[in-house]
Chains A and B, each alone.
Chain A
Amino acid sequence: MATEEKYDQETINSKLMIDHDYDGIKELDNPPPPWLMLIFYGTIIWSVFYLFYYHVFDGPTQEDEYNTEMAEAKANMPKNVFDENNIVLLSDAASLAEGEKLFASKACDACHGATNIGPNLTDEYWIHGNKVGEVFKVIKYGVAEKGMTPFKGQMTDKQIQQVTSYILVKMKGAATANTKGPQGDKYE
Chain B
Amino acid sequence: MEQQTFYYDNKIVRMFGGATILWGIVGVLVGLTIATQLAFPDANFSLPWLTFGRLRPLHTNAIIFAFVGNGIFTAAYYSMQRLLKTRMYSDLLGRFHFWGWQLIIVAAAITLPLGFSEAKEYAELEWPIDIAVVIVWIAFGWNMLGTIAIRRTRHIYVAIWFFISTFITIAVLYLVNNLSLPVSLWKSYSVYAGVQDGLVQWWYGHNAVAFFLTTPMLGLMYYFLPKAANRPVYSYKLSIIHFWALIFLYIWAGPHHLLYQALPGWAQSMGVVFSVMLLMPSWGGMVNGLLTLRGAWDRVRDSAVLKFFVVGVTAYGMSTFEGPLLSIKSVNAISHFTDWTIAHVHIGGMGWNGFMIFGMIYWLWPRIFDTKLKSEKLANAHFWIGTLGIIFYAVPLYWAAITQALMWKEFTPEGFLAYPNFMETVTQILPMYYLRIVGGSLYIIGFLMFIYNIIATARSGKLIANEEASAPALEKMSKKRQAGETPHRWVERRWVPFTIWAFIAIIIGSIIEIVPMLMVKSNVPTISSVTPYTPLELAGRDIYVREGCYTCHSQQIRPFRSETERYGEYSKAGEFVYDHPYQWGSRRMGPDLAREGVKGGKIYKSNAWHYNHMLRPQDVNPESVMPPYPWLISDDLDMDIIPAKIRAMQSLGVPYPDGYDQKAINEASIQAKALAADLANNNIKVEYNKEIIAMIAYLQRLGVDITKGKTASR
A78-B237 contact, Cβ under 8 Å, with A12-B232, A28-B232, A43-B280 = no
How far apart sit A110 and B683, CA to CA, in the bound complex (Å)?
16
Which residue from B153, B159, B236, B414 sits with its C-beta under 8 Å from A28? B236
A153 CA to B602 CA, complexed, in Å:
8
* B269–A116 touching, CB < 8 Å: no
B277, A76: Cβ atoms closer than 8 Å = no
B220 to chain A, nearest CB (A): 13
Q: Within 8 Å CB of B239, what residues of A?
A: 27
Shortest distance in angstroms between B325's beta carbon and chain A's nearest beta carbon? 12
A65/B682 in contact, CB under 8 A: no
Instruction: Report the minimal beta-carbon distance from A9 to chain B, rounded to whole angstroms.
Output: 9
The reply to whether the CB of A40 lies closer than 8 angstroms to some CB of chain B is yes
Q: State whether B157 touches A25 (Cβ < 8 A).
A: yes
What residues of chain A lie closer than 8 Å to B291, measured between beta carbons? 30
- When the two chains form their complex, are residues B559 and A65 in contact, meaning their CB atoms are under 8 A apart? yes
In the assembled complex, B82 has its CB within 8 A of some CB on chain A: yes
Closest residue on chain A to residue B268 by CB atoms: A62
Interface presence of B497 (CB below 8 A) = no
**Is B227 an interface residue, CB under 8 A from the partner?**
yes
Indicate which residue in B284, B294, B295, B609 contacts A32 across the interface (CB closer than 8 Å): B284
Contacts across chains A and B counted by CB atoms under 8 Å: 177
Task: Find chain A residues with CB under 8 A from B413 CB.
Answer: 78
Q: A28 near B234 (CB under 8 angstroms)?
A: yes
- Among residues of A, the one whose C-beta sits closest to the C-beta of B423 is A107
The count of chain B contact residues (Cβ–Cβ below 8 Å) is: 71
Question: Are A110 and B620 in contact, with the CB atoms below 8 A?
Answer: yes
A30 touches B416 (CB 8 A): no
* Chain A residues within 8 Å of B146, by CB: none
Known: A27-B232, A32-B238. A62 touches B272 (CB 8 A): no
A39 and B269 CA atoms in complex are apart in Å by 20
Q: Please give, as numbers and ranges, the residues of chain B lying within 8 Å of A51 by CB-CB distance.
A: 269, 273
**Most chain B beta-carbon neighbours within 10 Å: one of A36, A37, A70:** A36
Which stretch, A16-24, A88-96, A128-136, A163-171, touches the partner chain B?
A16-24
The answer to whether B233 touches A26 (Cβ under 8 A) is yes
Pair A39/B235 contact, Cβ less than 8 Å: no
A73 to B621, CA, bound (A): 30
Q: Which of A46, A54, A145, A146 contacts B269 (CB 8 A)?
A: A54
CB neighbours of B417 from chain A (8 A): 153-154
- B570: which A residues are within 8 A, CB to CB? 66
Q: Is A33 close to B, CB under 8 A?
A: yes
- Tell me if A117 and B559 are in contact (CB < 8 A): no
**A135-160 interface bits toward B, Cβ cutoff 8 Å, 1 = contact, 0 = none:** 00000001011110110011110000
The CA-CA distance from A5 to B230 in the complex, in Å, is: 13
Given A26-B232, A51-B269, also A117-B599 (CB < 8 A): no
Q: Is residue B630 contacting chain A, with contact meaning CB distance below 8 A? A: no
Our pick among A27, A39, A110, A116 for the contact of B621 (Cβ within 8 Å) is A110
Q: A29-B236, A47-B277 are in contact. Are A144 and B600 (CB under 8 A)?
A: yes
A70 to B562, CA, bound (A): 10
Q: Is A77 an interface residue (CB 8 A)?
A: yes
Complex interface: chain B residues within 8 A of A54 (CB): 265, 269
> For the complex, is A61 an interface residue (Cβ under 8 Å from B)?
yes
Tell yes or no: A172 within 8 A of B by CB. Answer: no
A188 interface contact, C-beta 8 A:
no
A116 and B684 alpha carbons, distance in the complex (Å): 11
CB of A31 within 8 Å of the partner chain:
yes
Contact A147 B606 (CB under 8 A): yes
Chain B 265-298 residues near chain A, CB threshold 8 A: 265-266, 268-269, 272-274, 276-277, 279-281, 283-284, 287, 291, 294-295
Report how far A55 CA is from B272 CA in the complex, Å: 13
The answer to whether A36 touches B561 (Cβ under 8 A) is no
In the complex, the answer to whether A28 meets B235 with C-beta atoms within 8 Å is yes
Tell me which residues across on chain B come within 8 A of A117, comparing CB atoms: 606, 608-609, 612, 620, 682
Within the complex, which residue of B226, B561, B600, B621 is in contact with A70, where a contact is CB–CB below 8 Å?
A: B561
Do the beta carbons of B416 and A115 come within 8 Å of each other? no
A70 cross-chain contacts in B, Cβ below 8 A: 561, 564
Query: A57 vs B294: C-alpha distance in the bound complex, in angstroms?
Result: 48
Bound complex: CA A66 to CA B565 (Å) = 12
Residue of B nearest to A50 (CB): B273
Smallest beta-carbon distance B488→chain A, Å: 12
Residues of A within 8 A of B283 (CB): 36
Question: A32, A65, A154: which has the most chain B beta carbons within 10 Å?
Answer: A32
- A44 in the interface (beta carbon within 8 A): yes
User: A145 touching B599 by the CB < 8 A rule?
Assistant: yes
Does B604 touch A at the CB level, under 8 Å?
A: yes
> Once the chains bind, are B83 and A22 in contact (CB under 8 Å)?
yes
Does the CB pair B561–A62 fall under 8 Å? no
Assembly CA distance A25 to B85 (angstroms): 13
B597-624 vs A: 1/0 string, CB under 8 Å? Answer: 0011011111111001000000111000
Q: Is B501's CB within 8 Å of the partner chain A?
A: no
Q: Does B241 contact A (CB under 8 A)?
A: yes
In the bound complex, how far is the Cα of B266 from the Cα of A67, in angstroms? 19
Asked if B269 contacts A28 (CB within 8 A), the reply is: no
CB-based contact A32/B235 at 8 Å: yes
Bound-complex Cα distance A105 to B623 (A): 12
**A/B interface sample: 11 pairs, CB < 8 A:** A25-B227, A25-B233, A27-B236, A31-B235, A32-B284, A36-B287, A47-B274, A62-B268, A78-B413, A111-B606, A153-B565
Which residue numbers of B lie inside 8 Å of A, CB to CB? 79, 82-83, 85, 153, 155, 157, 159, 223, 226-227, 232-239, 241-242, 245, 260, 265-266, 268-269, 272-274, 276-277, 279-281, 283-284, 287, 291, 294-295, 411, 413-417, 420-421, 559-561, 564-565, 570, 599-600, 602-609, 612, 619-621, 682-683
Q: A28-B234, A40-B280, A55-B269 are in contact. List 10 more A-B contacts (CB 8 A).
A: A23-B223, A23-B227, A24-B227, A33-B238, A36-B280, A50-B272, A70-B564, A106-B420, A147-B606, A180-B683
Closest 3 CB pairs between A and B? A147-B606, A144-B600, A47-B273
